[in-house]
Amino acid sequence: MTAITFPITFKVLACEEVAAPVTLIDWTIDSLATEEVLVRVSHASINASDPIIQKRNIFRLTPPYVLGYDLSGTVVAEGQANPNDDIEVGSFVFGAVGISGGCFGEYVKVKRTSVALRPDNATVSDAQAAAYGVAYLCAYSSLMIVDDISKRAGQWAYVVGGGGGVGHFAVQLCKAYGLKVVASASKPEALELLKSLGVDAVVDYSTQDVVAEVFAATNGKGADFVYNSTCVDATFKQSALVVASGGSWVRLGAWMLSAPGLVDEITEIVKKRGAEAKSPSVAGFEPSAGLKTVIRLHKEGNIVPHISKIVPFEAAAVQEALDNFGKANAGKVVVKIM
C-alpha cells in the first residue's frame, strides 16, 4: 500500500451551515494524534442522530461539519507505529467514531480503540461491517453492560421498536442469549423483519393494545427485561407498565430530552412493578470490546445487520436518505463511499 503523506485532501459530504443540505466539498486532515488511525472509508451507515445533528447541531460542531458516525474501511496510516493491538496499515476495520463524526467522507481519522478488525469479506461484508457501529454498540452496552442478558436465558424480553437500527440488534442479542422476545413495530418492513428474526410475539403498536399483547405473550407475568431504544416519550409509560416483578427496564438516551416529570413518573411505575429502571452510560466503554463480540455472534449466524438500502456517495442521494430516515426503512441504511 502506498504510504500516505500529510496533509491529505479528499472529498466529504459536509453541512456547510446548520440545517443546510449536505454538499460535496474538499476536506483536509493535517496529521494524526498518536492514538488515531486514518481510514479510507468503504461504507458508512446512517443513524437517527445524523439528521438531528444536521438540523439542530446538538453537538455544537463548527460548520462546515461532516456527518457519519459508523464506518468500515481500510487503515492507511497510523498515528503511532507498533502500538499494542492487531490493527496496522492495510487492516480492514469497522466501528464508530466519536461526536466529531466524519464518516461521510473518503477518509476519516478515528481512535484505534473505536474500531476492530473485520475478519473477512465473506464472513462480514464491507456494507454489513459499517451497519454495526453506533446502533449495535448502543444495543450491546444496554443489554450486556447495563443489564446482563446472558443471565436471562429462558426469560421474556420486550423490545420496543424492535425493527429499528438499535432495536433489531437488541432483538437479535436477546435471541442469541436464549430469551423469548416480544417486540413492537408499525412499518410493514419492520413487522416483516421481526418475524424473520424469529421473534416469538410481534405487536403492531399502531393497531394493537401493546400492554395487553405483552401480558398475553408472557402469560400475564410481563417481560423480565424491557428495552426501549425509541427515545419516544409516548412509549415509556406503556413499556414500564409491562415489566415483570424482579425485572429490568432499560432505556437508551438521556432523560433530559424527555418531557419534565416523565422520569419520576416512569421510575415510580417501574418501582411499583417491583423492577429496576436503568439507563446506559457508555463512559469508559471501549467500542472495540463490543465490536469483537459481534464478530463471534455474526460468524455463528446469531446476528446479521438488516440493510434496507445502500445509497451512493452523492449529495442528493445521501440528503434524501437523511430526510427520510426512519420513515420507510427498517434496520439500517448504508452509504457506499468507495
Ligand X SMILES: NC(=O)c1ccc[n+]([C@@H]2O[C@H](COP(=O)([O-])OP(=O)(O)OC[C@H]3O[C@@H](n4cnc5c(N)ncnc54)[C@H](OP(=O)(O)O)[C@@H]3O)[C@@H](O)[C@H]2O)c1
> What gap in Å lies between CA 75 and CA 92, rounded to an integer?
6
Going by C-beta distance under 8 Å and a sequence separation of 6 or more, which residues neighbour residue 124?
Answer: 94, 118, 295, 298
Residue 19 CB neighbour total at 10 angstroms? 9
Residue nearest to ligand X (CB): 164
Set of cell numbers at residue 31: 496529521
Going by C-beta distance under 8 Å and a sequence separation of 6 or more, which residues neighbour residue 324?
Answer: none
Return the number of the residue (88 or 192) whose C-beta is nearest ligand X: 192
Return the number of the residue (65 or 140) whose C-beta is nearest ligand X: 140
Return the number of the residue (23 or 279) whose C-beta is nearest ligand X: 279
Q: Tell me how many residues contact ligand X (CB under 6 A).
A: 28
Give residues 91-110 in contact with ligand X (rule: CB under 6 A).
Answer: none
> What gap in Å lies between CA 236 and CA 258, rounded to an integer?
10
CB of 234 to ligand X, least distance (A): 5
CB of 39 to ligand X, least distance (A): 21
> What gap in Å lies between CA 66 and CA 332, rounded to an integer?
19
Under a CB-based contact definition with an 8 Å cutoff, are residues 139 and 173 in contact? Answer: yes
**Which residue from 137, 142, 141 is spatially nearest to 160, judged by alpha carbons?**
142
Return the number of the residue (166 or 244) whose C-beta is nearest ligand X: 166
> Judged by CB under 6 A, which of 186, 293, 302, 324 binds ligand X?
186
Give residues 190-209 in contact with ligand X (rule: CB under 6 A).
Answer: 190, 205
**Measured CA distances, 20 to 16, 67, 155, 311, 315 (Å):** 7, 12, 47, 19, 12
> What gap in Å lies between CA 281 and CA 147, rounded to an integer?
11
Give residues 220-259 in contact with ligand X (rule: CB under 6 A).
Answer: 229-232, 234-235, 252-253
> What gap in Å lies between CA 179 and CA 172, rounded to an integer?
10
- Quick one: which segment of 33-41, 47-55, 123-131, 240-248 binds ligand X (CB under 6 A)? 47-55
Give residues 127-146 in contact with ligand X (rule: CB under 6 A).
Answer: 134-135, 138
> What gap in Å lies between CA 53 and CA 60, rounded to an integer?
9
CB of 76 to ligand X, least distance (A): 28
Return the number of the residue (37 or 134) whose C-beta is nearest ligand X: 134
> Judged by CB under 6 A, which of 73, 105, 164, 287 binds ligand X?
164
> Judged by CB under 6 A, which of 15, 97, 181, 185 binds ligand X?
185
3 state SS of 58 = coil
Backbone angle region of 149, left / alpha / beta, with phi > 0 → left and psi within -120 to 50 → alpha: alpha
CB of 110 to ligand X, least distance (A): 17
> Judged by CB under 6 A, which of 42, 45, 47, 125 binds ligand X?
47
CB of 137 to ligand X, least distance (A): 8
> Judged by CB under 6 A, which of 166, 199, 226, 250 binds ligand X?
166
Is residue 306 close enough to count as binding ligand X by CB under 6 A? no
By the criterion CB under 6 A, which residues form the site for ligand X?
Answer: 47-49, 134-135, 138, 160-161, 163-167, 184-187, 190, 205, 229-232, 234-235, 252-253, 326
